[in-house]
């Protein structure tokens, strides 16, 4: 649909609104569509926020579907406006603010990241239905939200090295790459046919030994006790009960004693990696961390906003 057609559609929407009953004129001039802790959100605010999305509404083939799309859009955007109001109120009470210099800096960073001239940026905004003033207001809202979330939500999020490693291995296995482990071990042998009492004694011996082991002394103790370096192992090289314990270890970690056919094994995982054709953990670590952090932040932001809504007095009158 052409820009002219979209403009015509918007004017028709406004005209239709203006013709609805004796109170319609007041609706068009200004009407409260929601209150958030006694602060009003106006119909004009909702309409301004809707402008960039009206082309999609106008593409609907029938008047009925256009009206339905517009209704859904308004309801969705009203929820966004309510959240914005809650965040503004929280920011004002906490002394969190976004300056015009902050907005200028953000725009310049976005322009440079996308390798655009100022003219190209203006053209891109125009193509999306934004004026420069509208874009600055929208960006200021986003920056305020970011500052509030960083102050109030970031402390709730913790992505550990173990979680990143697990995501790396999950992705590696999903693409058909086997995991490999560089392992040293110590075995506390159990004689074939040993009684339950003898096995229990050996288990306690292995636990006592494990308590004395550290990453720094493991290899020296392994040499003394007849263990040592197993080299690089692939999945399937060890019996299932031993490999299961190995899969749970992080690099540099020592396992608890695990029973095998010949005795109680204690493993020291020196390194682990996926197949040769898959990027190393170190190469993917930061990307995976950022991906997991962003996902965790989104989950916590939703929880935080739900908490704010429950504590607020919000009335919708759309």
| Digit-coded pLDDT (tens) for 115-156 | 999 889 889 888 887 788 888 988 999 999 999 999 999 999
Look at 212 and 129; give whichever has higher pLDDT.
Answer: 212
d(CA 134, CA 145): 17
pLDDT per residue as tens digits for the range 40-94: 999 999 998 898 889 999 999 999 999 999 999 999 999 999 999 999 999 999 9
To 5 degrees, how large is the angle CA 15–CA 17–CA 18?
Answer: 65
Where are the domain boundaries for CATH 3.10.50.40 in the chain? 178-273
Structural contact between residues 54 and 6, judged by C-beta atoms closer than 8 angstroms: yes
Torsion sign, CA atoms 183, 184, 189, 192: positive
Q: Which of 44-53, 73-82, 158-167, 270-279 shows the lowest mean pLDDT across its residues?
A: 270-279
Q: What is the CATH number of domain 178-273?
A: 3.10.50.40
Tell which residue, 221, 261, 267, 218, has the closest CA to residue 239: 261
Domain at 3-156+306-316: CATH code: 1.10.4030.10
Range from 59-73, 81-95, 163-177, 252-266 carrying the lowest mean pLDDT:
163-177
CB 168 within 8 A of CB 254: no
Q: Distance (Å, rounded) from C-alpha 18 to C-alpha 26?
A: 9
d(CA 147, CA 35) in angstroms, rounded, equals: 24
Domain with CATH 1.10.4030.10 in the chain: 3-156+306-316
**Region of poorest pLDDT, from 63-67, 125-129, 196-200, 210-214:** 125-129
Q: How confident is the model at residue 275 (pLDDT cuts 50, 70, 90)?
A: low
- Strand, coil or helix: what is 238? coil
C-beta neighbour count of 172 within 10 angstroms: 19
Residue 162's nearest CA partner among 153, 170, 154 is 170
Upper half-sphere CA count for residue 115 (Cβ side, 13 Å): 0
């Amino acid at each position: 649909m052409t820009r002219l057609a979209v403009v015509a559609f918007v004017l028709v929407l406004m005209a239709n609104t203006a013709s609805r009953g004796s109170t319609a004129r007041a609706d068009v001039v200004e009407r409260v569509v929601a209150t958030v802790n006694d602060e009003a959100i106006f119909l004009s605010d909702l309409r301004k926020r809707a402008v960039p999305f009206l082309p999609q509404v106008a593409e609907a083939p029938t008047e009925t579907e256009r009206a339905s799309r517009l209704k859904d859009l308004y309801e969705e955007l009203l929820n966004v406006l309510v959240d914005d109001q809650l965040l503004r109120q929280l920011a004002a009470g906490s002394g969190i603010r976004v300056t015009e210099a902050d907005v200028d800096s953000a725009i310049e960073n976005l322009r440079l990241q996308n390798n655009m001239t100022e003219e190209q940026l203006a053209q891109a905004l125009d193509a999306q239905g934004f004026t420069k003033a509208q874009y600055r207001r929208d960006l200021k809202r986003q920056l305020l939200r970011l500052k509030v979330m960083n102050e109030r939500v970031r402390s709730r999020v913790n992505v550990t090295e173990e979680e990143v490693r697990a995501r790396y291995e999950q992705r590696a296995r999903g693409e058909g790459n086997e995991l490999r482990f560089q392992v040293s071990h110590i075995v506390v042998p159990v004689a074939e046919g040993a009684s339950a009492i003898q096995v229990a004694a050996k288990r306690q011996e292995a636990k006592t030994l494990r308590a004395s082991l550290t990453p720094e002394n493991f290899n020296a103790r392994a040499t003394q006790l007849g263990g040592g370096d197993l080299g690089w192992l692939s999945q399937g090289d060890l019996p299932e009960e031993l490999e299961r314990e190995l899969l749970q270890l992080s690099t540099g970690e020592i396992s608890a004693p695990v029973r095998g056919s010949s005795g109680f094994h204690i493993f020291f995982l020196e390194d682990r990696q996926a197949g040769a054709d898959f990027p190393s953990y170190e190469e993917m670590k930061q990307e995976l961390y950022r991906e997991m952090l962003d996902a965790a932040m989104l989950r916590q932001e939703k929880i935080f906003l739900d908490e704010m809504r429950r504590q607020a007095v919000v009335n919708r009158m759309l």
